[in-house]
Chains A and B, each alone.
Chain A
Amino acid sequence: MSVLREGWNRAIAPYREEDGALFRWLRLDPWLLFALLLLLGVSVVAVYSASHQSLAQLTNLGIRIGLGLTLMTVMARIPPRIYQYWSPWLFGIGLVLLLAVELFGHVGKGAQRWLDLGFIRFQPSEMMKLAVPMMAAWYLAQRPLPPRPVDVIVTLALVLAPMALIMLQPDLGTALLVGAAGVFVLLLAGLSWRYIAGGALALGGIIPVMWNVVLHDYQKQRVLTLLDPEADPLGTGYHIIQSKIAIGSGGVFGKGWLNSTQSGLDFLPEGHTDFIFAVFSEEFGLVGVVLLLVLYLFIILRGLVISVRAPTVYGRLLAGSLSLSFFVYVFVNTGMVTGLLPVVGVPLPLVSYGGTAMVTLMAGFGMLMSIHSHRPFMAAR
């Protein structure tokens, strides 16, 4: 028992001398960094195979990983109080940009998501994945906790406004992640169980309304397809059928790296982006899947530990929300690829090929590390 307790204490302990000067100077958490590098390694291996061994895409991925790591390092060095200070500004700018997208947005893949700023095309909804939990944490950090009803209502309004705008684009996956990030802040702040139960009931009541009013036909189709993918094997059910074939044919030990026939022969579309989990499962089997999910679980738990150990309310709420959002990414993506959940456009975090999501995620981890490494006594030093 004492060994366990010793290990636990070590794990949740803040920065220690023996962690080394470099990490201390960089303000990086070696545990988290190690796990993230491992995950990015998985990404390189999986994307190389799923993109038909395209060197161009591998190069792109390398550039993005480099960018992400740099961004993470930079953001880890910025103290949390700066984030706290800028939270409402960031949120405000994000909201304005979302409105701008709604008005002059660039249509890509049938949905308005991009804002063309002339020199760069920018996705404000992606920024909101960080800005919304920052804003919620900023607001609640100034209120007595557990939050009073009025604060709950204000926070919910702060979350729902950008969520609704993102849904209008329409981008259900991102709206879901943004909403979840905001709600996680409320839950971690100590929202009373009565509200949670009430909210769950209300959500249950909203679903039929959502179905009839909010959801677009293609989104409804995705849900229906999930329930019975074989009904339309060449149309909307094709993705999920081919994805299940890919995973199922992998077996316990998988077909081996670069041996995916489902992706290699183009039967599984988007094998290197949203459906990369299927290709990974096909090539590395159940053993690979369990190891990958253990790695994810480790990152999430490490994030929660950082949250618990954070010195400020803002830091605790933000760190917890970011960690749990990361979990939502993992669960929604693996759930949809394995046919448990409808197909919503959520990538497998840090593994799927795709630029913006990776940059946002790495920025989030930078903030996590900043929260972890900036403590009053260290800041004072």
Chain B
Amino acid sequence: MIRVGAVIVAVAALAALVGPLLTPYDPSAQALALRLQGPSLAHPLGLDELGRDILARLLAGARVSFLVGVVVVGVSSAIGMTLGSIAGYFGGVVDDAISRVIDVLMAFPGILLAIALVAVLGPSLTNVVLALCVIGWVGYARLVRGQALRAREFEYVQAARALGAGPGRVVLRHVLPTAIPAVVVQATLGMAGAIIAEASLSFLGLGVQPPTPSWGTMLDAGRSHLFDAPHLTIVPGVAIALLVLGFNFVGDGLRDRIDPKKN
């Protein structure tokens, strides 16, 4: 499964990278006379409600999805690992303060807080990334805090402290590395989560704004044409589901390898 997932993710990443080379069409170029046309040789995935090439928009949308995924996972994991290791290693008041913030943020289900933030900040790609980072770091912080709580009792960590290593060095060199495998799994699954969240927000009109292509906005536009042009809905949906499936395969596979007991 992990190999299938890796292939899906690699193909999607490559398509996002070299997207413009794969199609001669501009994702924003309109051909109103041909609007809603189904798949043909000239346009393998058909045209949308404004006569734009769906393949070109799909490839451009892939860039948005990967960009959001990479930035959200990168920033969230960096913040989460930093705060989680500080809370877990130092404990006491610092741990209490960070843990209470985590508790409050965890009290908002799913992407509700992201919806709330984008609702007040205004719909845009930047605000989507910001909102997803605000809710994203919590999972990493909880994970790393738990690992750090365990790791600080390990003998080699106590030995490092006894040899005079400062807290920063102990956390960076000895505590954090124990959490890395679990963070990698979380980050892989987090990519899937971020891609779905961005598409959800764009679908609701709160994310990427037209004419910038995004898989979520493409799906939203397709909703008005369920009867006359179902390909508008099917194509971006397949893309999202496949990419998310790919990341889930990789994440599950990595988890099974790191913790064979769970398999």
Partners in one complex: no
Interface of A with B (CB < 8 Å)? none
